[in-house]
Amino acid sequence: MPITPIIVIAGIVLLVAVVLMAREVSKTRRENEAMKAEAARAKSAKAEAAPKKAVPKAPDVPSTVEEDDEDVTKVGATPKRPLPTLSSADGEEEKVASESRAVVVYEENADADEPTGPVDLILVSASGQTDCGLKRRKNEDSLLISRQHSLFVVADGMGGYGGGDIASKLAVETIQKSFDRADFHFDVARRDVPKKALELSSAIESANAVVFGEANRNSELHGMGTTVIGARFSERKQRVFIAHVGDSRCYRWRRGNLRLLTVDHTLAARGVEGPMAAHIRRAVGIAPQVKVDILVDKPLPGDIYLLCSDGLTKMVDDTVIEGIVTENAKDLDRTISELITRANAAGGKDNTTVVLIGVNEGPRAQVGAPSSASASA
């Protein structure tokens, strides 16, 4: 056989062998890939069938944002603890449980003891409103408007871990009951303080006992307390008796000028600066006894008295408050609405409570005759 045909045949055989080999390699590769895919599916199915381990829950971390706190009002250095005795000259005042004797301050022309007349020298009207604000989960403020007793109260609860709302509610309810029942306890031999002022102070001291007792009976409420600012008017004597504990305030607006009558029971008022400055030195319900500050003022027709929690005063400057009252003095409801709106517009970081008491001329000044519906002296 010639050589050329042999070479051709050999080439054909070699080509066929290469093609067959390529097919075998391709088949083997496909089988391997199929086996890998099947193994992956089996592994996935097994993992899904196996019980899953619970993912541990991250522990709750207390918020460090002021607006998220239950309450930012603090007594002394920590929430719910009274301030230790200060080393200042009048540090004895800070022994909250050691003495409950009322401290009295007389405003100008209010110290003279005038006889109670047969008719009202002034008449009062009042309005009040409380608002939760924009940052708080609940409202821990309470207010009382008792026209029967010409008595007006604002209480700002401080609970820390809870109970602030309960403390403020208990306080105003106890004060109300004290007046409804004429249940007062004080030293009748005291001649340096008007009786009506002592009765108001006694009611606040009773509130202190009730709040303190409830806090000690219920461990969840331990350490709760509240501020209290109260004003009691005597229309026939033309006097207002103002009593307070804590940093809730009383202002008097007179002929366009706003004046703060009370002094905050805070460390700032004692010259302390820095983070502790806003901590209060005194509150209702944190100790067995409480010292009550009393101020006596002589209200004049046209005056407006403003009682408020610090939700207003730490959001709105006194000059702005003065302007709002001056602009809306003839409408107490509108004035309150404007004040609360301004507090929320400034951030609304706390509950805001405002009570306004307007003073008007009594019937004797108006018609020169006794009133047939005058309030009790």
Cβ atoms of residues 246 and 206 within 8 Å: no
Quick one: average pLDDT of 343-364? 95
| pLDDT at res. 21 | 73
pLDDT, greater one: 140 or 371: 140
pLDDT, greater one: 207 or 17: 207
- Average the pLDDT over each of 271-285, 298-312, 348-362 and give the range with the smallest value: 271-285
Quick one: average pLDDT of 91-100? 42
What is the domain partition of the chain in residue ranges? 74-367
What share of the chain in percent tops pLDDT 90?
A: 55
| pLDDT at res. 118 | 83
| pLDDT at res. 117 | 76
- Average the pLDDT over each of 28-37, 197-206, 346-355 and give the range with the smallest value: 28-37
- pLDDT exceeds cutoff 60 at 98: no
What integer best gives the mean pLDDT of the chain?
A: 80
CA distance 323 to 332: 14
At the top level of CATH, the class of 74-367 is alpha beta
| pLDDT at res. 52 | 46
Quick one: average pLDDT of 296-311? 98
Angle subtended at Cα 245 by Cα 244 and Cα 247, rounded to the nearest 5 degrees: 95
pLDDT, greater one: 88 or 19: 19
Query: How would residue 89 be classed by pLDDT, with cut points 50, 70 and 90?
Result: very low
Q: In 3-state terms, the chain is what percent helix, strand and coil (to 5)?
A: 35, 20, 45
Cβ atoms of residues 353 and 309 within 8 Å: yes
| pLDDT at res. 175 | 98
Query: How would residue 57 be classed by pLDDT, with cut points 50, 70 and 90?
Result: very low
Beta 103-106 vs 151-158: how paired, if at all?
A: unpaired
- pLDDT exceeds cutoff 90 at 200: yes
* pLDDT, tens digit, 9 for 90 and up, residues 101-150: 567 888 877 776 677 778 999 999 999 999 999 999 899 999 999 999 99
- Amino acid in the structure at residue 9: I
- Average the pLDDT over each of 60-69, 245-254, 260-269 and give the range with the smallest value: 60-69
Q: What is the pTM of this model?
A: 0.73
- Average the pLDDT over each of 52-61, 118-127, 144-153, 194-203 and give the range with the smallest value: 52-61
- Average the pLDDT over each of 25-34, 178-187, 203-212, 257-266 and give the range with the smallest value: 25-34
- pLDDT exceeds cutoff 60 at 370: no
| pLDDT at res. 186 | 83
Burial pattern 172-197, b for ≥16 Cβ within 10 A else e, equals bebbbebbeeeebebeeeeeebbebb
- pLDDT exceeds cutoff 90 at 338: yes
Residue 350 in tokens: 């706390």
